[in-house]
Structure 1
Amino acid sequence: MITWITKTFEELTTQELYALLRLRSEVFVVEQQCVFQDMDNADQLAVHIMGYDDSLDNELVAYTRIFGPGIKFDMCSIGRVVTSSRARGNGSGRKLMEYSIATVEQRFGNVPIKIGAQQYLEQFYRSLGFEQSSEMYLEDDIPHIEMIREVQA
């Protein structure tokens, strides 16, 4: 079972900050072999969503950061979507995104949400209601597309 914790940057403990930066580095830098500046001075403006797996000694296994409109995009956004390799294949990524979407709606209302998605995950994000809104572009040499989840009825 995953326990979800949502905090602003100021509310994060040093242990939580270390864990989320470690998870992001583990997946985005090491696993995906992508050298990039992960710490982009946007974490301070984000709401951080952390998923801790009770069966793995409360290890941080899932993470996103969400932004209000006008910070990363002109609308609310979800970014740095990451799950640990130890938590894949059991629906953790879907639960993470569903929780993140619900958190955006709780904090900002029923609003459109924009993401910059790795292109190979397009079908996954489509299954959550996102639609492609840009041509493919390279970000850190990885194919990406922008996607928008319109206001849901």
Structure 2
Amino acid sequence: MPTIRAAHFADLDNRVLHDLLRLRVDVFVVEQDCAYPEIDGRDVEEGTEHLWMDLDGQVAATVRVLHDPDGTRHLGRVATHRDHRGQGYAAALLREGLERLGPGPVHLGAQAYLEQWYARLGFRRSGEDYLEDGIPHLPMVRD
């Protein structure tokens, strides 16, 4: 049975950390054929929280919750293992992340083709399209 798990970097066990990072690299670097520094240093920040969908000990999906020094709150690094897409895991993790962040604006940088998917979760476009590592993105916010 799928279970949402959460932990800060210091509380992640080595296997889970490996599996979270592996999933993100598999999706963002390998599948999307985009060589970029996926491990960006923000995973270890004190306020960063990692959420994942645990499916019998396997990481099926993940989302990262971030707080900028100025107080801006973000959800990001939304990734689902190719064998588990279409099950609603990423949406469940985003809802959990929003609940953990509480009221107020939450930002994310969405890949452009996912704009309508994020809109179903209450996000709206908040700026112009941009390229990030050659992939079209757009800023979104949920108030």
Which position in structure 2 is the counterpart of 1:142?
Answer: 135
**Worse-superposed segment, 12-21 or 61-70:** 61-70
Which position in structure 2 is the counterpart of 1:63?
Answer: 62
Moved beyond 6 Å, runs of 4+: none
Q: Offset of 1:96 from its aligned partner?
A: 1.9
Which position in structure 1 is the counterpart of 2:107?
Answer: 114
Mark the runs of 5 or more structure 1 residues left unpaired by the alignment. Answer: none
SS in 1 for 2:40: coil
Which position in structure 1 is the counterpart of 2:82?
Answer: 85
Matched letter for residue 30 of structure 2: V
1:38 counterpart = 2:38: yes
Q: Offset of 1:134 from its aligned partner?
A: 1.0
Matched letter for residue 63 of structure 1: T
Q: How many equivalent pairs are there?
A: 141
Matched letter for residue 2 of structure 2: I
Q: Offset of 1:93 from its aligned partner?
A: 2.1
Matched letter for residue 60 of structure 2: V
Q: Offset of 1:80 from its aligned partner?
A: 0.3
Mark the runs of 5 or more structure 2 residues left unpaired by the alignment. Answer: none
Which position in structure 2 is the counterpart of 1:104?
Answer: 101
> TM-score normalised to the size of structure 2?
0.93
Which position in structure 2 is the counterpart of 1:127?
Answer: 120
> TM-score normalised to the size of structure 1?
0.87
Which position in structure 2 is the counterpart of 1:7?
Answer: 7
The CA RMSD over aligned residues, in Å, is 1.3
Whether the 8 Å contact between 2:63 and 2:90 is mirrored in structure 1 is no
